[in-house]
Homo-oligomer: A and B are copies of this chain.
Amino acid sequence: MKATIITIGDEILIGQIVDTNSEWMAQELNKIGVDVYEIISISDNREHILSAFAKAESQSDIVLMTGGLGPTKDDITKKTICEYTNDTLVLNQDVLDHVTQLFAKYVKDAMVDMNKDQALVPSQAQIIKNDFGTAPGMWFENNGVIFISMPGVPFEMKEIMLSGVLPRLKAMPGLPFIHHRTILTAGQGESTIATRLEDWQNNLPASIKLAYLPSLGTVRLRLSSKGMDKGHILKSVDDQIKELYLLIPDIIVGESNEEGLVDQVSRLFKEQNKSLATAESCTGGKIANLITEIPGASQFFKGSTITYATASKVDILGIDETLIDKYSVVSHEVAEAMAVAAKKKFESNYAIATTGNAGPSKGDSDAPVGTVYIGIATEDESFALKFMMGNHRERVIQKTVNKAFELLQKELLKKGGQ
């Protein structure tokens, strides 16, 4: 079953917002066996919406669209749906009641006509309830193709998808089983790996697709397969993964399917009932921030100090000032001392620390731009490692964050394996 996603809104085409809706929808659709054939982003323009509907209808079984459902004049999706399907807008009492309730509960202003217009829906559309907002989801068909219209506000769209769209699509007959497995490698580049895997890749069954996904020092190898015979698919992909482990054992660091590296590390902390603190300088809280985005982080995350200024490394973490004077603030010794101090201050089992120079200009140290030290304190030991992360500020930070999680994962897996 093939889907086209249409995101509607001028703000996407002028680059005012990043379209994260498509990514999320694509992910969820893939999980239930719906192929996303194309993602189209267009403006709030009648002709363009109509032509996108026609194109999507011609190439897919399901068309999912977001955006253009606000109460103001620039939002024209509902009107245009009516024009496309030869329908008219009618008042839906359930939606009106819901909007009225939302206003009574959350909004201080009185309801205006425009809010009531949110309850106008195409007469042939089935309503999908939007618990978090005034614009309902709508499900209709045209020439046998399913169309689903949802608001563009991400958390409203997600709720509608999870409660009203995905369960219904999943129940439809004929959905194939889709299976992805992704091997995470580190230490060699895409082309070197591809050369090592050339014979294997040439002999891959046609039903299995391979992709190389390079990202900041790691390359993920994704195997994908789909079909109606779930057992066969699972086994054939598993067989190939086993071969990979035999062919490139030196560079495989794990599997990363649904679960990203941050999730993996978080799960390991919870499973092992250990806690973590961070002391961040050049990463500016990004490590802590990624951890606390995960619900339940408070189970293992104690906290962090972000000591951006050199003086605060002394005052807040209690790093020995002579250490900084002797080795400089960007050094092996200071990174390790920061990790040890954070572990002690926060009374955690593990701590990770970063100090470095992300650029663009040199900071409180003479270390060249891109020099980063990561310190780690475990229950048994503490140490620091030096990395040269290039000269691109954002990348230096992101690579440091990735590397920090990689180091934590390695330490936790050691323990888990014991």
Contacts and interface: CB of A to CB of B under 8 A. Distances in A.
A309 B38 contact: no
Contact of A301 (B14, B29, B43, B308): B308
Contacts of A306: 278, 285, 288, 292, 303-306
Majority secondary structure, A binding face: mixed
Nearest to A52: B38
Among A195, A214, A304, the one with the most B-chain Cβ atoms within 10 Å of its Cβ is: A304
Contact of A315 (B24, B212, B289, B345): B345
The count of identical subunits is 2
A101 interface: no
Contacts of A37: 13, 42-43, 48
Contacts of A371: none
Interface residues of A, number: 99
A73 B194 CA distance: 9
B289 A303 contact: no
Interface stretch (A15-23, A79-87, A404-412): A15-23
A99 to B, nearest CB: 10
A284 B295 contact: no
Given A19-B22, A155-B394, A309-B346, A213 B11 contact: yes
Among A35, A37, A194, the one with the most B-chain Cβ atoms within 10 Å of its Cβ is: A194
Given A303-B308, A303-B312, A211 B19 contact: no
A298 B363 contact: yes
Interface string A302-325: 111111110110011000000000
Contacts of A29: 15
A70 B221 CA distance: 14
B316 A309 contact: no
A308 B114 CA distance: 43
B212 A70 contact: yes
A246 interface: no
A381 interface: no
B112 A192 contact: yes
Contacts of A284: 288-289, 291-293, 297
Pairs of residues from A and B, 6 with the lowest C-beta to C-beta distance, nearest first:
A284-B292, A15-B27, A285-B285, A15-B26, A39-B41, A285-B288
Interface of A: 10-20, 22-30, 35-43, 48, 70-74, 107, 109, 112-115, 132, 153, 155, 180, 188-192, 194-195, 201, 209-214, 222, 224, 278, 280, 283-286, 288-289, 291-293, 295, 297-298, 301-309, 311-312, 315-316, 345-347, 359-360, 363, 392-395, 397
7 contacts: A13-B36, A13-B39, A40-B41, A70-B214, A115-B191, A284-B288, A303-B307
